[in-house]
Amino acid sequence: MGATSAMYDGPWKSLPDSNPLEWPTHHGETTIADVARRMIDEHAISARDSIIGSSLGGIVALEIHRFLTLNQVILVGSAVSRAEINGLLLGLAPLAQITPLKFIQVLAGKTPTLMSSMFAEVDSDFIKAMCGAVAQWEGYTGSKERISRIHGDQDLIIACPADAHVIAGGGHLIAITHSEDCVRLIEELQ
């Protein structure tokens, strides 16, 4: 939830016509559908588009697909239902509202890693809202015909689904840690 478009650097830039998107400025959205609508409006997403989404980005991509029936959706370490998300994390989601995220973000910003710097940049109110939104998300129940999944077999956040293209040894951050493998698979899927 604390990622920015910076995670799609390096090999990701070799994908033709790709355009990494930033989260919209948080204006009080409390549901995945609210964020999907904002993404559609702010980034002029249309049914002709294909979306690659990681983690929360994949969940939002599925909501966009529900609204527009996109050309293609590729989920990278993401879920199609709450049942795939670690139950302990879902159970802890309400604690996000009382967690001092801004303070944690300041500390994270002092650590020179990509994940820490991205986490430090994301609006803490957005993170809190999305923790609750994911915990309440009804999941995607539409056609999976245009949906492909890439997943690490060591992901402890979202269980590796049986229908995924599996990246051995990959955890939840495969878009960063196994970017070359992800890009290769995406090229094969297009």
Distance between CA atoms of 7 and 188, rounded to whole angstroms?
A: 21
Give the pLDDT confidence score for residue 102 in this predicted structure: 67
pLDDT at position 121 is 74
Tens digit of pLDDT at every position of the chain (190 positions)? 667 788 888 999 999 999 999 888 899 999 999 999 999 999 999 999 999 999 999 999 999 999 999 999 999 999 999 999 998 888 877 777 767 666 666 666 677 776 667 666 777 788 888 989 999 999 999 999 999 999 999 999 999 999 999 999 999 999 999 999 999 999 999 8
Residue with tokens 């959706």: 73
Residue type present at position 106: V
The answer to whether the predicted template modeling score (pTM) of the entire model surpasses 0.85 is: yes
> Is-contact 71 146, C-beta < 8 A?
yes
A 10 A CB-CB count for 105 gives 18
The full set of domains in the chain, from first to last, is 5-189 (3.40.50.1820)
Gap between the Cα atoms of 167 and 174, Å rounded: 8
The two three-digit tokens of residue 124, written as one number: 């803490």
